[in-house]
């Protein structure tokens, strides 16, 4: 079918009218529902049985013929994955946590039929003297600001109409009908949006370079190969709001003059792949993808390509090689992807979260986007908070929020009375940030200044029980596994660094160990072909900076202060 | 998965795979997809299947082999009927994934990356399935089991052994 603005508006009105319980104002609400129950259908909650909870609730509703009174919606991520499976009852946004399947019976009887919330199943921190805080008022949500995750948790990601109800595909209409490709690129550039995959490159500049590159055939690629361990931002966006990425890629296609896009997703994310497939199908059916979109003559096709478990494929030239059906090995640049990318044609590659910001910027303008964040890193950042922290989950914060706010306030601190040791950011390319640097604001430049990097957004909190040398060894082991072997500095340098780290953790370190590590780190950094090798030493360099004494304890005293390194545990371990 | 079935069944699977390939062979850059189809259907990418892919997609066999061996998801040995994978991403690692791996290796008598001779179990490690909030996690044929402890791992392994060793090999579970 072909889509018009009028039809889009009709779908929007129609769908909004039945979504009034979910907190969206509607002129003429016609939903008869008394209650709307949102159940998180994201990987983490699903593996804690949220699909069974949803099915059980639906069965109860059908049994009693309450279909017109109670709405059940499977949504994307709410954020506090630690408390999963999460069920939110609206109105009131009552937050039920860590439910068992049979608990839903009580919620149904008491809350949905009787109007009385089930106190002992409600998230304890949302209980107040005279009632219950809504999910969005709990301490975990303080400081958070949702732009990339704006629809996640509110809509059913498998229903394009609900995305449209919240203004979805209006940015695409605006771009195609009211703006020239140059206008689109200008707004994205003015917004200051920087690549959320970790590099922090100015997105508008990338778009401009690909647009300016001569060629009849150009490509748009969405990098969804979230290979960094401890990261699940892109997975959550794809599972919770896949249309935001589809809409943005289409807008990008219009801006740079491309009619073909690819989403390169990890095969480890089956649910994300399934939702994305469904979403692409629905967009095609409604004429929001395919030929002659909004009757403008602009056409755009989108295909999914699966990765197969190679971390290096997050690198743009390696990713292109993988889509072409080759070994995912990077090549030297220039030429850049903007000039010679996929199949040698101009190609623009952005990450999932970067794309998810685009419709918001087109609809609301660069100024609105810049209202949050810092001068050089405007907007928000989605982070995956995990490790030794109370509130594990997905958060979205304004750039400039400090690491301390993230760990202590949003994260709720370290569990079991343990002491904070470090935050690991940027995965194998990033570093460990010790307690002395906790007041560092989270933005691209400030994290780079202290020798770590923003990275895609995995934030792993380490407590005193974690050994800094062992963490460095862990990452180097990962890099040695994942190094593609094409260039010598990375292939050999990382291997030699790993050997030295193993020696240190097994009690064979000597006074040459640290100087040798530092020299190898410099060489690998300078001489490697791609980002993987160039940043491979960061976990070592950053732990050396904050925890040099720990390295020295392993080497000189043959002692692991955290008591992790097994070969050294016969010697005095814990400080206490 | 059909890695342990008789040759007649296997011929049928090969024929079905060839039909899959026919459908995709004219697309651009289809080698990865072809390998995913093969891995999913056969539980590995044996050499005769590599040759079929090379002939149909018109790429050198050496390229096919090169790509198979580059990506960790494609394997040259069959995955077991019960494919157990321990996540060793950072979050799972600091929450004790190593002990879970050790437990699985000891109980199943196979190492990381191996398949038991009877074809029932295979064991592997994976770098992050993105379910870090449930760390440490283990997947069984893709299904995520979260917040594992050594105790729970023992229980899971006992259950799986009961389940997979009691029933005769069947051709149904593809």
Nearest to A402 by CA among A78, A143, A197, A194: A143
Distance from CA of B4 to the nearest CA of A (A): 24
Tell me the DSSP string of A171-195: HHHIIIII--HHHHHHHHHHHT-B-
CA dist A111 to A84, A91, A118, A473, Å?
19, 11, 7, 51
Cβ separation B146–A48 shorter than 8 A: yes
H/E segment holding residue B46: none
Question: Which residues in chain B are closer than 8 Å to A269, comparing Cβ atoms?
Answer: 130
The candidate with the shortest Cα–Cα distance to A382, out of A239, A243, A539, A198, is: A198
- Residue B119: HSE in the Cβ half-sphere, 13 Å Cα cutoff: 17
Q: How confident is the prediction along chain A (576 residues), in pLDDT tens digits per residue? A: 689 999 999 999 999 888 888 877 666 666 678 999 999 999 999 999 999 999 999 999 999 999 999 999 999 999 999 999 999 999 999 999 999 999 999 999 999 999 999 999 999 999 999 889 999 999 999 889 999 999 999 999 999 999 999 999 999 999 999 999 999 999 999 999 999 998 899 999 999 999 999 999 999 999 999 988 999 999 999 999 999 999 999 999 999 999 999 999 999 899 999 999 999 999 999 999 999 999 999 999 999 999 999 999 999 999 999 999 999 999 999 999 999 999 999 999 999 999 999 999 999 999 999 999 999 999 999 999 999 999 999 999 999 999 999 999 999 999 999 999 999 998 898 889 999 999 999 999 998 888 778 889 999 999 999 999 999 999 999 999 999 999 999 999 999 999 999 999 999 999 999 999 999 999 999 999 999 999 999 999 999 999 999 999 999 999 999 999 999 876 554 444
Of the candidate CATH numbers 3.40.140.10, 3.40.718.10, 3.40.30.10, 1.20.1440.120, the domain formed by A32-139 belongs to 3.40.30.10
Flag whether residue B53 sits within 8 Å of chain A, measured between CB atoms. no
> What pTM was estimated for this model as a whole?
0.95
Q: Using alpha carbons only, how large is chain B's radius of gyration in Å? A: 18
Record the tokens describing residue A14, joined without a space: 């129609």
- Name the helix (H) or strand (E) containing A206: helix A203-212
Q: Do A309 and B72 touch (CB under 8 A)?
A: yes
Superfamily, domain A160-370: NADH-ubiquinone oxidoreductase 51kDa subunit (3.40.50.11540)
Ramachandran category for residue A221: left, alpha or beta (phi over 0 → left; psi -120 to 50 → alpha): beta
Looking up tokens 């070969």, which residue turns up?
A567
What is the number of alpha carbons within 13 Å of residue B121 lying toward its C-beta?
A: 24
Task: Report d(CA B22, CA B4) in Å as an integer.
Answer: 25
Contacts of A307 in chain B (CB under 8 A): 71
Nearest to B115 by CA among B150, B164, B148, B62: B164
Of A232, A462, A471, the CB nearest to B132: A232
- Establish, for the pair of chains A and B, how many residue pairs have beta carbons separated by less than 8 Å: 136
Q: Could you report the predicted ipTM of this complex, rounded to two decimals?
A: 0.92
The topology under which CATH files domain B82-166 is Glutaredoxin (3.40.30)
> Are the CB atoms for A41 and A241 separated by under 8 Å?
no
Count of other CB atoms within 10 angstroms of residue A435: 15
CATH code of the region A380-463: 3.10.20.600
The ranges assigned to domains in chain A are 32-139, 160-370, 380-463, 471-568
Per CB-CB distance under 8 Å, the chain B contacts of A391 are none
Contact B133 A306 (CB under 8 A): no
CA distance B75 to B93: 24
A-interface mutation test, from B57, B86, B87, B128, most A Cβ less than 10 A away = B128
Q: Which two tokens stand for residue A461?
A: 């909190």
- Judged by a CB distance cut-off of 8 A, whether residue B33 touches chain A is yes
State how far the Cα of B174 lies from the Cα of B172, in Å rounded to an integer: 6
Handedness of CA B67, B72, B76, B78 (dihedral sign): negative
Consecutive H or E run containing A260: strand A260-265
Distances (CA, A) of A334 to A535, B143, B146: 19, 42, 44
């Amino acid at each position: 079918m072909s889509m018009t603005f009028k039809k889009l508006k009709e779908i929007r009105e129609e769908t909004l009218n039945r979504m009034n319980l979910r907190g969206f104002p509607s002129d003429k609400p016609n939903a008869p529902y008394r209650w709307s129950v949102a159940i998180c259908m994201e990987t983490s909650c699903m593996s804690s049985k949220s699909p069974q909870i949803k099915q059980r609730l639906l069965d109860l509703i059908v049994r009693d013929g309450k279909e017109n009174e109670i709405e059940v919606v499977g949504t994307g991520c709410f954020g506090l994955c630690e408390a999963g499976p999460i069920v939110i009852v609206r109105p009131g946004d009552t937050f039920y946590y860590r439910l068992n399947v049979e608990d839903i019976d009580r919620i149904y009887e008491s809350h949905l039929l009787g109007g009385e919330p089930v106190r002992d199943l409600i998230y304890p921190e949302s209980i107040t003297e005279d009632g219950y805080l809504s999910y969005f008022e709990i301490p975990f949500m303080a400081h958070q600001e949702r732009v990339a995750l704006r629809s996640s948790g509110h809509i059913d990601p498998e229903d394009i109409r609900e995305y449209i109800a919240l203004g979805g595909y209006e940015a695409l209409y605006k771009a195609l009908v009211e703006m020239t490709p140059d206008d689109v690129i200008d707004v994205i550039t003015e917004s200051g949006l920087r690549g959320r995959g970790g590099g922090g490159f100015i997105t508008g500049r990338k778009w401009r370079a690909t647009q300016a590159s001569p060629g009849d055939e150009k490509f748009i690629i969405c990098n969804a190969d979230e290979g960094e361990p401890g990261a699940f931002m892109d997975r959550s966006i794809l599972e919770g709001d896949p249309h935001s990425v589809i809409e943005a890629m289409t807008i990008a296609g219009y801006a740079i003059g491309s009619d073909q896009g690819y989403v390169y997703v990890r095969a480890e994310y089956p649910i994300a792949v399934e939702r994305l497939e469904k979403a692409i199908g629905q967009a095609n059916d409604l004429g929001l993808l395919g030929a002659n979109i909004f009757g403008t003559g602009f056409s755009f096709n989108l295909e999914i390509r699966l990765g197969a478990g190679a971390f290096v494929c997050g690198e743009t030239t390696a990713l292109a090689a993988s889509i072409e059906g080759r070994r995912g090995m990077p090549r030297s640049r220039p030429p850049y992807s903007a000039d010679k990318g996929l199949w040698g044609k101009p190609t623009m590659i952005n990450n999932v979260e970067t794309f998810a910001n685009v419709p918001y910027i087109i609809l609301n303008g660069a100024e609105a986007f810049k209202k949050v964040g810092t001068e050089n890193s405007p907007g928000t950042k989605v982070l995956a908070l995990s490790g030794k922290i109370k509130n594990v989950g997905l958060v979205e914060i304004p750039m400039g929020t400090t690491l301390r706010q993230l760990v202590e306030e949003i994260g709720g601190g370290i569990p079991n009375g343990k002491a904070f040791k470090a935050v690991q950011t940027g995965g194998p390319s990033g570093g460990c940030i010790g307690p002395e640097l906790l007041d560092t604001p989270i933005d691209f430049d400030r994290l780079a200044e202290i020798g770590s990097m923003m990275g895609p957004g995995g934030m792993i909190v380490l407590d005193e029980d974690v050994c800094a040398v062992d963490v460095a060894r862990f990452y180097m082991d990962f890099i040695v596994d994942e190094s593609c072997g094409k260039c010598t500095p990375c292939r050999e340098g990382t291997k030699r660094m790993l050997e030295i780290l193993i020696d240190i953790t097994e009690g064979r370190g000597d006074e040459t160990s640290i100087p040798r590590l530092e020299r190898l780190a410099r060489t690998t950094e300078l001489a490697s072909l791609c980002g993987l090798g160039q940043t491979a030493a960061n976990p070592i360099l950053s732990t050396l900076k904050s925890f040099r004494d720990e390295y020295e304890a392993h080497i000189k005293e043959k002692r692991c202060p955290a008591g992790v390194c097994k070969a050294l545990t016969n010697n005095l371990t814990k400080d206490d | 998965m059909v890695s342990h079935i008789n040759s007649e069944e296997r011929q049928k699977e090969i024929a079905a795979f060839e039909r899959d390939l026919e459908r995709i062979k004219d697309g651009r850059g289809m080698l990865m997809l072809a390998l995913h189809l093969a891995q999913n259907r056969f539980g590995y990418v044996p050499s005769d299947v590599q040759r079929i892919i090379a002939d149909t997609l018109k790429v050198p066999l050496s390229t096919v082999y090169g790509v198979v061996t580059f990506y960790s998801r494609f394997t040259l040995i069959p995955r077991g009927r019960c494919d157990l994978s321990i996540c060793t991403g950072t979050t799972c690692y600091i929450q004790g994934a190593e002990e879970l791996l050790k437990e699985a290796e000891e109980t199943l008598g196979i190492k990381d990356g191996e398949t038991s001779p009877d074809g029932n179990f295979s064991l592997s490690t994976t770098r992050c399935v993105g379910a870090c909030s449930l760390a440490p996690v283990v997947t069984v044929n893709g299904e995520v089991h979260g917040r594992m402890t050594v105790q729970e791992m023992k229980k899971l392994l006992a259950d799986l052994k009961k389940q997979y060793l009691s029933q005769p090999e069947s051709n149904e579970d593809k």
